[in-house]
Amino acid sequence: MIQLTDISVRFDGGESPVEAVKSVSLHIGKGEIFGIVGTSGAGKSTLVRTINLLERPNAGTVSIDGVDITRFKGEELRKLRLRTGMIFQQFNLINTRTVFDNVAFALKVAGRSKQEIGQRVPELLALVGLADKSNAYPAQLSGGQKQRVGIARALANSPQVVLCDEPTSALDLETTASILELLQEINRKFGITIVIITHEIAVVKAICDRVAVMDAGTVVEKGAVYDIFANPQHEFTRQLVARTLNLELPPRLLDSPRETIIKLHYRGERAEEPVISETIRNFNVQVNILHGHIEYIGGKPLGSLVISLDGEPDAVSRAATFIKSRTAGFEVLK
Ligand SMILES: Nc1ncnc2c1ncn2[C@@H]1O[C@H](COP(=O)(O)OP(=O)(O)OP(=O)(O)O)[C@@H](O)[C@H]1O
């Protein structure tokens, strides 16, 4: 649906030019929730803003449904922007206007009649769970409620795509979860494609189908969320995954004098195989689980387990070989 081909964006204004995005190509499928993660300044916002031409690329093309929009101007550009909703970290509401008026504003800009607006705004507010806040002002709302207004406004003109720039970064964990649920509901109900910039693993894990990792203006890895998390290549992704899987081992666990200590990585179906019980049954060793963590991403398990093996050296070695053959990742820690 969205095809970015060799997109480069350069800012010439400052002391020296900044190459914010360097020859990035990405395909985002229709109805997909696509995450863009990466370090601060990696170029995520700049890249996403090329999708509705808030940022014009210096090189490359942006196509939506097979139509090259890169040179759109005037009426074509206006229509493109109406078809593309945006949600921001700081909500960007008009503080002097009521909730109703904030949402109505997007419809007015699109030239809708007063009657249409009077009908559509309550529908949108009901959709985002704010039917009773129509006359409230932004200052009277919680962060989560403000973002719900932002979502209602983004949906006002029935967009095909919603671009979200750090939509939950200003929210607490619980509110984040409820906003993500709402975005997912909108995606499923209306088939709207959602592109979401985030530095939060919770966001990617909870709702993204695929993800691209950006660093210094380029996409360094991309793919299905599970695949990227199961086999992270780039340092940023590794750290992100390590944070969520808590793979750091407390050093005291390595103090044990005799045993062999092994770290296993579980991926996909293999996580459910009874490797540990089979090891105990088939080899004359003692197995202790020292540390473990398992996560479900897109319903598939991903995790790590640290175990100690104790017994005759030969039995330990054979048990270790067996475990290695049955797990996705294997590391002898001691
Ligand atoms: N309008 C601008 N003029 C000049 N430089 C800019 C402009 N917008 C962004 N940049 C620069 O481009 C680079 C990429 O910025 P961008 O905001 O796209 O990164 P980001 O990955 O979204 O970062 P963050 O997560 O911190 O928002 C940065 O070096 C930034 O300073």
ipTM reported for the complex, 2 dp: 0.96
Q: Would you say 36 and 28 are in contact if contact means Cβ atoms under 8 Å apart? A: no
pLDDT digits (tens, 9 = 90+) for 67-108: 999 999 999 999 888 889 999 999 999 999 999 999 999 999
One-letter amino acid of 267: R
Average per-residue pLDDT for the chain: 90
Does the pLDDT of residue 248 top 80, yes or no?
A: no
CA of 21 to the centre of ligand 1 (A): 9
One-letter amino acid of 282: N
The residues pairing with 301 across neighbouring beta strands, listed in sequence order, are: 296
Residue ranges lining ligand 1, Cβ < 6 Å: 11, 13-14, 18, 20, 38, 40-46
Q: Please name the helix (run of DSSP H) or strand (run of DSSP E) that holds residue 104, with its range, or none.
A: helix 99-109
DSSP of 140-205 = GS-HHHHHHHHHHHHHTT--SEEEEESTTTTS-HHHHHHHHHHHHHHHHHH--EEEEE-S-HHHHH
Q: Would you say 247 and 288 are in contact if contact means Cβ atoms under 8 Å apart? A: no
pTM over 0.90: no
Q: Per this entry, what is the length of the chain? A: 334
Name the residue at shortest CA distance from atom 2 of ligand 1.
11
Q: Would you say 230 and 221 are in contact if contact means Cβ atoms under 8 Å apart? A: no
Which ligand 1 atom is nearest residue 199's CA? 25
pLDDT digits (tens, 9 = 90+) for 267-321: 776 655 688 888 888 888 998 888 888 888 877 888 888 888 998 989 999 999 9
